[in-house]
Amino acid sequence: QVQLVESGGGVVQAGDSLRLSCAASGRTFGNYVMGWFRQAPGKEREFVATVSRSGLSTSYADSVKGRFAISRDNAKNTVYLQMNSLKPEDTAVYYCAAKETRVFVAMSDYDYWGQGTQVTVSS
């Protein structure tokens, strides 16, 4: 069992930056691929970014590529999402998720989810 707690959301203006954190507790954090997802009002949840167990490999949605950066600190059991040049369309609840696997997987395959943190970007 893994418990995930996101933090760092808030209300910002377009062009600002935010860093989200996701603290994990439970079993060995380094065994898990971690992902960030988001869900805007009236829309389905979508993939944002994912990071490998070591932190050396990452993947991003096209909509955030070049603006967002995912990273992890296995010593601190924490994964981060640095969000730069935020746009109003980035407004959503952001979730982190974990999957005990060696490869990147689809959103539906993640086993553990946090409760989410709200990010609101005003124009």
| Chain segment 49-70, per-residue pLDDT in tens | 999 999 999 999 999 999 999 9
Burial classification of residue 114, based on how many CB atoms lie within 10 Å of its CB (0-12 exposed, 13-18 middle, 19 or more buried): buried
| Chain segment 7-50, per-residue pLDDT in tens | 999 999 999 999 999 999 977 999 999 999 999 999 999 999 99
Q: Are 92 and 39 in contact (CB under 8 A)?
A: yes
Determine the Cα–Cα distance for residues 64 and 4; give it in Å rounded to an integer: 23
